[in-house]
């Protein structure tokens, strides 16, 4: 299972294979560069399990995940967006459904 998760980190096909929903998305820009921080849920009602996905330069990585703790991914994503702001990025929260 761990090996599959590692493979999925480097394959955009894994993002398409599992239906997932994003409620919280931050778009961060710095000049012409863009980064996206998204909280992605497998179950829209319970908000868990969840993942915080970070997209940059055409690659996506999972920074944090939670199986049972509602609110964990939202907290981590918000804190990471705030850290980006500290580095000079302009991050805005967007309302998106479906990832």
Residues of the chain with pLDDT under 70: 1-22, 95-99
- Containing structural domain, residue 89: 2-94
Q: How far apart (Å, rounded) are the C-alpha atoms in residues 12 and 62?
A: 12
Residue 99 lies in a domain: no
In sequence order, what DSSP letters do the residues of 66-99 get, joined into one string?
Answer: ESS-TTHHHHHHHHHHHHHHHTT-EEEEE-----
Residue among 64, 90, 94 nearest 76 (CA): 64
Residue among 38, 39, 25, 32 nearest 71 (CA): 39
Residue 70 lies in a domain: yes
Question: pLDDT at position 2, please?
Answer: 37
Task: Give the chain's domain count.
Answer: 1
Question: pLDDT at position 5, please?
Answer: 40
Structure-token match 């991050």, residue found: 91
Residue 48 lies in a domain: yes
Question: pLDDT at position 22, please?
Answer: 65
Residue 30 lies in a domain: yes
């Amino acid at each position: 299972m761990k090996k599959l998760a590692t493979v999925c980190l480097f394959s955009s096909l894994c993002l398409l294979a599992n239906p997932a929903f994003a409620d919280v998305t931050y778009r961060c820009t710095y000049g012409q560069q863009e980064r996206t921080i998204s909280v992605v849920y497998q179950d829209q009602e319970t908000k868990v399990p969840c993942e915080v996905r970070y997209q940059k330069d055409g690659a996506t990585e999972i920074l944090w995940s939670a199986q049972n703790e509602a609110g964990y991914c939202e907290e981590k994503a918000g804190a990471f967006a705030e850290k980006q702001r500290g580095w000079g990025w302009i991050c805005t929260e967007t309302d998106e459904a479906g990832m």
